[in-house]
Chains A and B, each alone.
Chain A
Amino acid sequence: MYLQNKPRITNLWSKVVGGENEKWLTRVTVESTGPYKFTLKEVSGGFSLECSGVEINMPEGRLEVNDGLLRDISIERAGNDTARVELFLDHPAECAYVLYNDFPCRLVLNLNRDFIKGLLSGKRIVVDPGHGGKNLGGRGQVSLLEKDVVIPIANNLERNLKKAGAEVLLTRRTDKDVPLDGRAALATNANADAFISIHTNASADRSDVGAATLYSPHDNGSRELAVYIQKEIIKKLRVKDRGITIQQGLGCVSKEIPAVEVEVVTITNIVEEVFLRGLTIQERAAEGITNGLIKYFACGGPGAKGDTK
């Protein structure tokens, strides 16, 4: 029966691997029941993989990735016994492949993320987990506190940014309150390239949900940074888009430094409180913020108008 069948592609997935001291890669894996013939071509905006003598045993269409380099992957039939896998990239990258002919057979495409490293290396980012100590911030209906949940998100963000070659400073690592001017001074003294404050939204209306990004009143790229981060965080979390808005309080950060406050989701909503407890959302929120920063620096950083509305 196997002999009558062509090999079949059963799964397609991607993951970011390595970083810091190892090669930092987006790894796309195509799994199949057996080997087949393929050619890999560079095309405008990405790569195209033509596979022949193989059937598709999974849904055709696009898979969203949004990892800062790889936007999405598509797989579709391109004639008899032929499948086309396309990788759509946000930035240029080199692509190398390895075929593992075991079971399942795996064709692994490694995209290097050096371009992102080029954008962020040498950048100094201040990450500010909101509240702390007696300043609890928002409180969930069950028990979660804003001051606690912003810490793991900040730690994830620090890890991501360091992998991209940036220098990261945190305003607090422990459960203590730091005065606003102290947080702002850290950014000023470090001559930071961006100030990212992490919060959650809190609302008296318990049905309120979603994420928002607030920006400094200074005309220094803060608004553009907020637009990018908001767009990317919504893609990652798939929660309600509460938009961007000015936050006068961020005016205390030096005029030279773009500053935003990300309200990851709404802690006072019971569903989103449970989300916030999960490691997945804590990682995804950090990925969304990282991707926003990458887009911002790719468009030229402060003063860049890019495609922001």
Chain B
Amino acid sequence: MIAGRISIRTHIITDKDDIVNVVEKYTGKVALPGDIVAIAESVVAISQGRAILPDDVKPGILAKILCHFPGKEGSLAAPPSIQVAMEEVGKARFLLGVAAAGLGRLVGRRGDFYRVAGRELALIDDFAGTMWPFDRHIVLGPRNTQEIVDRIKKVTGVEAIITDINDIGKVDILAATDGVDADEVADYLKDNPHGNDDQQTPIVVLVSSENMQKNKCCRAAWLGEQSK
């Protein structure tokens, strides 16, 4: 059972950081075994060097045409990000996705593009999708997410998840260690505690009821100390 949560501000994560070290540094004295550390997918991707500047992408003719299609889903709006997406899953699969989306629309169904072209494309953030100084980058989804959460648990003893949360309350858990109840956690993250781009809190600790009880005891002790 989760009984509370606390958002943790970090430095600006770049590709010089190892995300496991970052989590260890910022949660080492905040999270206890039984708690869950939630990490925003975009910073995991950035730490993996998956932020791309548009100058490094040469959009082909197809990307330039596709950007004019109405209802381009999610954050794929500009030709460079469409190009990057096509390279991620291959041109053929991307086009199948576009075709499926077109057919889906005829029968009034949404979401077929990502079902066919690949869920990982939904994780691509276009320009302005990530906070400064990465707001001029296209940020791809993270890789090896299961391996990362498992390493975090090994190093810190705390459960870990990697999350993709948008502003309309849609929560996706990309990877979780074996002790996590994904449904309960998703419910607890709907209002996006990672914050918008003004708040640099890519790590959130979800505190278990047991540890919250301990915290309450300490709170009394801390307050007692103060009234002395």
Interface residues of A (CB under 8 A from B): 1-3, 5, 7-8, 10-13, 15, 31, 33-37, 53, 55, 57-59, 101, 103-105, 141-143, 238, 270-271, 273-275, 277-278, 280-281
Contacts and interface: CB of A to CB of B under 8 A. Distances in A.
Centre residue among A53, A142, A271 by max chain B CB count within 10 A? A271
Interface in B171-228: 195-199, 201, 207, 211-212, 214-215, 217-219, 221-223, 225-226
B215 A33 contact: yes
A12 B133 CA distance: 19
Contact of A142 (B67, B198, B223): B67
Contacts of B99: none
B79 A3 contact: no
Contacts of A103: 4, 6, 207, 212, 215
Nearest to A274: B127
Interface stretch (B24-32, B37-45, B102-110, B141-149): B24-32
B8 A37 contact: no
Nearest to B226: A37
Centre residue among A8, A34, A101, A238 by max chain B CB count within 10 A? A34
B214 A2 contact: yes
7 contacts: A2-B32, A2-B215, A34-B215, A103-B4, A103-B6, A271-B54, A277-B128
Interface in B28-62: 29-30, 32, 54
Given A31-B7, A57-B29, A13 B198 contact: yes
Contacts of A105: 219
Contacts of A143: 68
Centre residue among B128, B197, B225 by max chain A CB count within 10 A? B128
Nearest to B211: A2
B57 to A, nearest CB: 10
B128 A11 contact: no
A34 B11 contact: no
B222 A11 contact: no
A273 B11 CA distance: 28
A31 B30 CA distance: 13
A57 B136 CA distance: 29
Given A10-B9, A10-B30, 12 more contacts: A8-B30, A10-B8, A35-B226, A53-B225, A55-B29, A58-B9, A58-B10, A58-B26, A141-B78, A143-B68, A275-B127, A280-B197
A142 B78 CA distance: 7
B184 to A, nearest CB: 18
Interface string B75-99: 0011110000000000000000000
A102 to B, nearest CB: 8
A10 B6 contact: yes
A12 B4 contact: no
Nearest to A281: B128
A5 B30 CA distance: 9
Given A13-B199, A53-B222, A142 B30 contact: no
B126 interface: yes
A151 B29 CA distance: 48
Contact of B218 (A3, A37, A101, A274): A3
A100 to B, nearest CB: 12
Given A10-B6, A57-B26, A59-B10, A3 B221 contact: yes
A193 to B, nearest CB: 30
B128 A36 contact: no
Centre residue among A59, A270, A275 by max chain B CB count within 10 A? A270
B136 A271 contact: yes
B201 A59 contact: no
B135 interface: yes
Contacts of A34: 215, 218-219, 222
Contacts of A31: 6-7
